[in-house]
Amino acid sequence: MLLADQRRLLCEYGRRAAETGLVVGTAGNLSVREGDLVAVTPSGVPLDRLEPEACPIVDVAGHLVEGGLQPSSETPMHLAVYASGDARAVVHTHSTFGTVVASTMTELPPIHYTVLLLGGPVRVAEYATYGTPELAAGVRAALEGRTAALLANHGGVTVGADLAGAFEATRLLEWLCEVYVRARALGEPRVLTSEQLAAVAHRAFHPPVFPVREDLPAAPTRED
Ligand SMILES: [Zn+2]
């Protein structure tokens, strides 16, 4: 079986996505790239009932290489993302708060600094019918310089160096969207300025150094 480890990971993260409520039923799809091959979740199978053998393998041009089931209908979007960057995994869901923001906004306003972990304010790709080249092109553009994008009236997509990274980005995207939606229920949220975001980015690259107290015995090392 080609990409056996990657197919097992698709099942593991597919199950986690279903268990954590990020996907409902057969909505959502995941993929992992290895060289010129991509393991992707199949069309029409709930993500919590996936088996590794059921996950098809396609090449980066979209030809079916192995697998009895049809690849997810969003496979063209996954392939477009791989073609335009160095992502090694893609996660797409119709998560609740992501879809709420994607149905009302053109960008997720940056009200929390952890949006920088996704590369900056998350763009909403223009609406296009699912599975079409138009949607794939819109998502590709919205992901420029980002690891997450929202799809108008549809859901969200994240990328990563591996499935764990892409999955964490999906969880963070959903959390940020939930915080925004809940904040809007209380009032008009304060949006961070580009200067405030730049200061956070600067601090991340220049973390504070805590001075060592020399009047105390040295902390034990792991070997002690
Ligand atoms: Zn979708």
Q: Which of 55, 53, 7 is nearest to 34 (CA)?
A: 7
The verdict on whether 214 is a catalytic residue reads: no
Query: If you measure from the C-alpha of residue 23 to the centroid of ligand 1, how many angstroms do you get, rounded to a whole number?
Result: 10
The residue annotated as part of the active site, out of 74, 134, 144, 168, is 74
Query: If you measure from the C-alpha of residue 93 to the centroid of ligand 1, how many angstroms do you get, rounded to a whole number?
Result: 6
pLDDT of residue 46: 93
State the Cα–Cα distance between residues 28 and 103, nearest whole angstrom.
17
Inter-CA distances, 33 with 8, 81, 94, 210, Å: 13, 11, 22, 41
Residues of the chain with pLDDT under 70: 221-224
Query: If you measure from the C-alpha of residue 95 to the centroid of ligand 1, how many angstroms do you get, rounded to a whole number?
Result: 10
In degrees to the nearest 10, what's the CA dihedral of 172, 11, 34, 56?
Answer: -130
State the Cα–Cα distance between residues 49 and 19, nearest whole angstrom.
11
State the Cα–Cα distance between residues 89 and 181, nearest whole angstrom.
28
Query: If you measure from the C-alpha of residue 187 to the centroid of ligand 1, how many angstroms do you get, rounded to a whole number?
Result: 31
Judged by DSSP in three states, 134 sits in helix
Tell me the whole-structure pTM to 2 decimals.
Answer: 0.92
Query: If you measure from the C-alpha of residue 74 to the centroid of ligand 1, how many angstroms do you get, rounded to a whole number?
Result: 7
pLDDT of residue 224: 54
Query: If you measure from the C-alpha of residue 39 to the centroid of ligand 1, how many angstroms do you get, rounded to a whole number?
Result: 17
Environment class of 174 (CB within 10 Å of its CB; exposed 0-12, middle 13-18, buried 19+): buried
3-state helix, strand, coil in the chain (%, to 5): 40, 15, 40
pLDDT of residue 21: 94
State the Cα–Cα distance between residues 180 and 101, nearest whole angstrom.
8
pLDDT of residue 141: 96
